[in-house]
Amino acid sequence: MKKWVNQKRIGSLLLTTVLGLSLAGCGNANTPSTTDAANNNGATGNTAVDPTASPAGTSLSGNLVVYSAGPEGLANKIKEGFEAKTGVKVEMFQGTTGKILARMEAEKSNPAVDVVVLASLPSMQGMKKDDLLLPYKEAVNSDKLVSDWSDPDGSYFSYSASALGIVYNTKKVTTPPTSWSDLGKPEWKGQVNIPDPSLSGSALDFMTGYLSAQGESGWDLFKQYKANGVAMAGANQEALDPVITGAKSVVAAGVDYMAYKAKAAGEPVDIVYPAEGTVISPRPAAIIKTSPNVDNAKAFINYLLSDEAQAMVSKAYLLPGRTDVKAEGRANLDEIKTYDVKWDWMNDHGDEVSTTFTDLFK
């Protein structure tokens, strides 16, 4: 039987999640090249084509099974919007990237999923290498996507992204750090959380992305963190919550949309992107090769890339996947300096990096 997932990339994620498939939300690079450098404040999609029309030209009906790494609120709005447009009933499992991959592994002898949405591009690249994805080169608006985040063969489409930054409590921190290395200094001793890469795909993206850009010497930063009392504190929300309450001051490699959402809700948090650069974590969607509902799946991909869904992405404080849609209430892609990461290296070394990091922080 063909493997359902690239084991080098997600071995440790599977180890920590295969026994518990509870519903949960989840939670690189050069500034990516784009296929359309438009700078409008709103979407200007293809109005001549209904993005949710059946690719086969027939009426849509029946069901669609989607496994989504969230965010939960956005995933629910996309589900509701697609159902209203098409009449197709969506059955959605929501979980972290690790839980989704673990569920697919458990179901590999009898696959159920049609469309998968992950919070980790390297994991999706691993799925393509394992020949698990169904290409859909004709996806409506795919020509407007950030080209570095999506597959040129049409196997996956990054409809959104987040960036990793330094999230801090504004009541406790008057002068926020401006560099990743700042968090290894004595003034931050015992005040910093960092997410566990075995539980968070975006945290693993940050660590593998950073190491792919810095080389073996990049481990020196994480060793400094350990020596300075940085705590590995669960998945993304678990790492952020103590900073919101003031129990800790900072999250290193915090997911930015969570910080923006908390700030908008009145919580005392803000975020900075280190001056030397950071890692972008695209959120790709793909059709699974064994899908029994291919027309519905293609229509769902079209909807993710539509004006309507991209506006939802923007309002959720994520970076839209389309270059002609601006983010709202947050930094846009051209305002964030990013590392020159090596995506293939990240995929190939994910398990090794996760194991080494978690062993270091035990």
Query: What stretch of H or E contains 72?
Result: helix 72-86
User: Distances from the Cα of 142 to the Cαs of 40, 132, 203, 234, in angstroms?
Assistant: 18, 20, 27, 35
> Pick from 84, 360, 327: which is nearest to 223 by CA?
360
Q: Is 257 annotated as a binding residue?
A: yes
Residues 327 and 318 sit within 8 Å (Cβ to Cβ): yes
Helix, strand or coil, per DSSP, at residue 58: coil
Task: Verify cis geometry, omega within 30 degrees of 0, for the bond prior to 71.
Answer: yes
Distance CA 145, CA 139 (A): 11
Query: Torsions phi, psi of 253, nearest 5?
Result: 60, 40
CA quadruple 265, 99, 312, 269: dihedral, nearest 10:
20
* Residue 40 one-letter amino acid: N
Which residue ranges make up the annotated binding site? 257
Which residue ranges make up the annotated binding site for Fe cation? 257
